[in-house]
Structure 1
Amino acid sequence: MTQNSKRRQTKSVAQESLKNQTPGDDQHIEPQNVTVEVVYDELTIEEQQERLRLERVIERSFYEAGKALKELRDRRLYRSTHKSFEQYCKDRFGYNTRRQPYLLIEAAAIVDNLSEKCDPLDRILPTNERQVRPLTKLDPEEQWEAWQRSVEAAGKKVPSARIVKDIVEQIMERTKVPNPYQISEVCQILPKDNPELRGKGKSWCIVTEVNNFSCTVRAWDGEYVVKMDHLKSFDYLEEDCQQMGVLCDRLTRLRNQGNLEEAALSVLKQLGEIKRPYLTPVEEKLLGVLEREYGVG
């Protein structure tokens, strides 16, 4: 056995001596230190590589889940058994809230952003979704700044969610501006450099929740959390916003039917990109035909 495969530990045996002391025995027992040899087996090069691989699998489990959920959602691979992605996730994975799968999807996108900027020789990335969650409130460049500062605050280690949250709050306080949007307001989505919003540049949406630095919005194809600078209001009148809300409900009910043909999905996509608060007579007829065909009304 090599010297490198052994380590020495010192252990007090006072308790063992006290165990052997009979009741009423006033004899003073001096603690004694003994050296105990603990043998560790050295790993082979292959075993070290396999350990590193498995550790990274565990660290990236939330990331892999987010990537898989995004593909399931984008390709609508749930449609054979469920009308909506949210219900599928609840039944299949036991997610208790509608937001949980979207949080994982968003977390995976943020890890991709951090990975692009991370030094390959000093690769410190998040190991769970809770560490990433505070970063969703920041722009990509600010996410990188917040993560680097969090790593430094943790002593060049993976920071806790609390450390990340504190750093994010400091950055947000530095750039705090009022949220100008209102519930039921109709806006255009501006993807910019957010990979989660890629392909949504022509879509309109309805604001359903106003947060400090973002809005939860509902589009024809799902719900999103969007930062303020990724939205642009259409400045519609209140009655126009109400009409668009009704239209969004109709499109959502059709989408949730599942098993829609490509032609039907194409019509929904086109209606989800109109830049006016009304449907033309032809568009209204097309939507009505789809609603009757799929039994939605």
Structure 2
Amino acid sequence: MELRDRKLYRSTHKTFEEYCRDRFGHNRRQSYLLMDAAVIFDNLEQKCDRNDHILPTNEWQIRPLTKLDPDIQPEAWEQAVESANGKVPSHRLVKDVVQRIMERTQVPNTYQIGEVCQILTKDNPELRGKGGCWAIVSAVNDFSCSVRMWDGEYAVGLQHLKSYNYLPAECEQIQFLSDRISRVYSGSLEESVQKFLESLGKLNRAYLTTVEEKLLNVLESEYGGKRIL
């Protein structure tokens, strides 16, 4: 970490990523993951019950702990060890414990049906490709929301949602836009058409520009959607 923070790699390489690739054979992201794991490992080694002294054996096992504050990480690890009957727990066991702790300490779900949110995909492969997209809350649960996007319904945890704080009229405009895109979009469309519709699904405003409106009208006319005059 000192190598990265003090930019010591610049004596031989232009970027940290180039250094990691040449020196260790992996990319910058993997290097950051390993550095995060090293910090967590040191934290567990110092604070966990020394009578048990069951410690991680690889980065993947403790990656879920990055979501927790350092003070809570030892508690989560010890719970995972207990769930594994005193053995080194798997990634899945650690992830389940972390999720339970996050739910226990999470603030109440304050989202409302019809509210427009942005999708945050960090550490959720099921949302891959949806980062930055808007979504409309269709159901509110204790620790998640069901949201409707222009290409379907999704169940999303609160940590993966961020409200746009739109006014009610703006939320209605986004719902209207979602319906329009849904009527046109399909996997059989030309790639350029799909890309345009997908770009509308990532707008960070509640309206279309004049050009966007004209293009969507053309697509609605061409592919069977209801044209908006």
Q: Same fold (TM over 0.5)?
A: yes
**Percentage of pairs with the same residue:** 51
2:120 to 190, 196, 213: 190
Query: What SS is found at the alignment partner of 1:196?
Result: helix
- Report the Cα offset of residue 244 of structure 1: 0.7
Partner of 1:283: 212
5+ residue gaps, structure 1: 1-112, 125-137
Verify: 1:177 aligned to 2:135, yes or no.
no
Aligned equivalents of 1:180, 1:140: Cα separation in 2: 25
- 2:201 & 2:134 partners in 1: Cα distance? 6
Q: How far does the alpha carbon of each residue in 1:175-211 deviate from its partner, in whole angstroms, 9 at most, with x for none?
A: 1311121111111122233333344333111111212
Q: Does 1:220 align with 2:158?
A: no
Q: Name the SS for the 1:205 alignment partner.
A: strand
CA positional deviation for 1:213: 1.6
Q: 1:31 corresponds to which residue?
A: none
266, 270, 287: which one aligns with 2:199? 270
Aligned to 2:179: 249
Query: Distance in 2 between the 1:207 and 1:246 partners?
Result: 14
Any conservation in 2 of the 1:192–1:230 contact (CA below 8 Å)? yes
Which structure's CA Rg is the greater one? 1
CA distance in 2: counterparts of 1:140 and 1:227, whole angstroms: 17
Q: Deviations over 1:53-88 (max 9, x none)?
A: xxxxxxxxxxxxxxxxxxxxxxxxxxxxxxxxxxxx
**For 1:207-258, what per-residue CA distance to the aligned partner results, in whole angstroms no more than 9, with x for missing partners?**
1121212222222233332222322211111121112111112212222x43
Residue 263 of structure 1, CA deviation: 1.5
Letter of the aligned partner of 1:189 in structure 2? I
Q: Give the letter aligned to residue 263 of structure 1.
A: S
Q: TM-score, normalised by structure 2?
A: 0.57
Alignment partners' CA distance in 2, 1:147 and 1:209: 33
RMSD: 3.8
Instruction: For structure 2, list consecutive stretches of 5 or more residues without a partner in the other structure.
Output: 1-32, 38-55
Cα distance in 2, alignment partners of residues 165 and 201 from structure 1: 23
Shift in Å, 1:166: 8.8
Q: How many pairs are equivalent? A: 166
Answer whether contact 1:146 1:171 (CA < 8 A) is retained: no
Q: Cα–Cα, structure 1 residues 140 and 210, in superposed 2: closer, same or farther, change >3 Å?
A: farther
